[in-house]
Amino acid sequence: MFDADQYDSAQRLGAHLTALADRPETVARNTVVVAGGGLTGLETATEMPDRLRAILGPDAAIRTIIVDTAATIGANMGAEAIPHVQAALDQAGVEARAGVRVAAIEPGAVVLSSGERIETDTVVWSAGMRAHPLAASLPGEHDGLGRVVGDAFLHAPDAPGVFVTGDTVKAATDDQGNFSVMSCQHALSLGRVAGHNAAAELVGLPLHPYSQPKYVTCLDLGPWGALYTEGWDRAVRFTRDEGKAVKREINGVWIYPPAPDRAAVFAVAAPEYVIVP
């Protein structure tokens, strides 16, 4: 079983896929099962057919199957997005198994909760997220993902002198009842505010409350393009090539540090800095 959660694990998956070409052709060799239909699972599944054809040849009888417990694949992206997700899956030739889970992984196969057995040598796990185990060592309230429930300044309320950020904190993003999610979009801003506040507290300066009311998603869907949404209701704004252009900007520019220029670095480090326009 493989995942793409960290660089090393993604490299391991890539090496495994490349090595498939050295194996005898079988149904299992040619089939990839992606367990989990969230953003990572969808991006993995829609990219996989082209990757397999490049490795195994354009005429190989490949299969990519995405499995999710939701009644509809892509449901967590919102009702407006579902038709676009389905179009992308159809264009890529990805098969969907909705409303089921992977019940067992056997040598050369997975078994679904429906009883279906799928021959495969490649299972990519993208189901569920958890905070780093270090978060569990902190006292106080934790959410279902293991994150510390932080205050407005990103303190760990029951651990004096400790700030929590990134995937270790559940923090209110606005006054409408929305909270940070485990994504680079929120982690970048959380890091700025927590870092600023830790330094400010040491020297007795006012702290900056965390706030990030604008929420967007940008989901890469392989050859179909990408899907860009705005708001917690995930209203679709850009699709296909327009969405892909935004995704490339995010992946190639927004998430990287600025040029090694003092003014630029300090501007980006300011707690009120906003990446998403």
d(CA 274, CA 44): 28
Task: Give tens-digit pLDDT for 171-199.
Answer: 999 999 999 999 999 999 999 999 999 99
d(CA 212, CA 237): 19
Task: Give tens-digit pLDDT for 199-210.
Answer: 999 999 999 999
Question: Terminal CA-to-CA distance of the chain, rounded, Å?
Answer: 38
Contact 201, 207 (CB under 8 A): yes
Count other Cβ atoms within 10 Å, centred on residue 69.
Answer: 16
Q: Summarize the confidence of residues 216-224 as an average pLDDT.
A: 97
Tokens encoding 163: 């700030």
Task: Give tens-digit pLDDT for 43-83.
Answer: 999 999 999 999 999 999 999 999 999 999 999 999 999 99
**Whole-model pTM?**
0.93
d(CA 116, CA 129): 26
Domains and CATH numbers, the chain: 7-125 (3.50.50.60), 133-213 (3.50.50.60)
| Structure letter (DSSP) for residue 232 | T
Task: Say yes or no to pLDDT of 277 above 60.
Answer: no
Return the H-helix or E-strand segment holding 171.
none
* Residue 258 backbone phi and psi in degrees, to 5: -70, 175
Q: Summarize the confidence of residues 211-237 as an average pLDDT.
A: 97
Contact 110, 120 (CB under 8 A): yes
Task: Give tens-digit pLDDT for 76-102.
Answer: 999 999 999 999 999 999 999 999 999
Task: Say yes or no to pLDDT of 276 above 70.
Answer: no
Contact 227, 219 (CB under 8 A): yes
In terms of C-beta density within 10 A (0-12 exposed, 13-18 middle, 19 or more buried), how is residue 131 classed?
Answer: buried
d(CA 116, CA 202): 58
